[in-house]
Amino acid sequence: MNQSQAALDKLQAGATPDQIAAASAQVAQARSQLDALTNPTTASQRAQREASVAQAQAALESAQYNRSQADLKAPFAGVVAEVNIDVGDPSSSAGAAAIRLIDLSELTAEVDVSDVDIAGVQVGQAASMIVQSLPNVTFSGKVISIAPAATVSGNVRTYTVRISIDDQSGLLAGMRVRATIAPAS
């Protein structure tokens, strides 16, 4: 009986201010929905909505284009040797390439030749190389390119000479070599 009396007292006391505010908000929302259904949209409202749709479409197309430009395509088949960028990094970090790709099918040796000796080096000259980690094996090859400009370090000027390697068995990219270039005939 006490429970029934408490329920009756609560009903006679009326709603709390929070309950009245919530009910008023529900009535206002229902009126707004009714107005939207009964009143046709104006030309201005229609134009504004169409502009919003066009803006969203342009944003979508821009995002799709940006995504298509995010794919990296290698200029040759190779092995990724180094990744110097993380997700979220700027696309142009100064100093280092984002990704270092190596073509293992055609290793070459790069040697620095002093400015005193470079006059005796020509493309096509035979060369022999010894690799530090394989001291008992001599590799043969030929000069395939000579840098057109010197690299200067202090008072020393050198030219980078690239040598193709005939048999690459046992070699890995980045191994140190000591090359002897045969005198020009």
64-73 pLDDT, tens digit per residue, is: 888 887 777 8
Give yes or no for residue 5 having a pLDDT over 80: no
- Specify whether 80 is located in the same domain as 34: no
- Specify whether 12 is located in the same domain as 33: yes
More confident residue, 72 or 159: 159
Q: Domain tally for the chain?
A: 3
- Specify whether 101 is located in the same domain as 112: no
pLDDT given for residue 7 in this prediction:
66
pLDDT given for residue 175 in this prediction:
87
- Domain range for 134: 108-181
- Residues 6 or more apart in contact with residue 176 via CB below 8 angstroms: 131, 132, 133
pLDDT given for residue 76 in this prediction:
80
pTM value > 0.75: no
- Specify whether 101 is located in the same domain as 118: no
The rounded distance, in Å, linking the Cα atoms of 92 and 101 is 17
The rounded distance, in Å, linking the Cα atoms of 23 and 91 is 54
Give yes or no for residue 6 having a pLDDT over 60: yes
- Specify whether 149 is located in the same domain as 131: yes
Mean pLDDT lowest among 90-99, 123-132, 150-159, 162-171: 90-99
Strands 134-146 and 156-165 come out as antiparallel
- Specify whether 100 is located in the same domain as 112: no
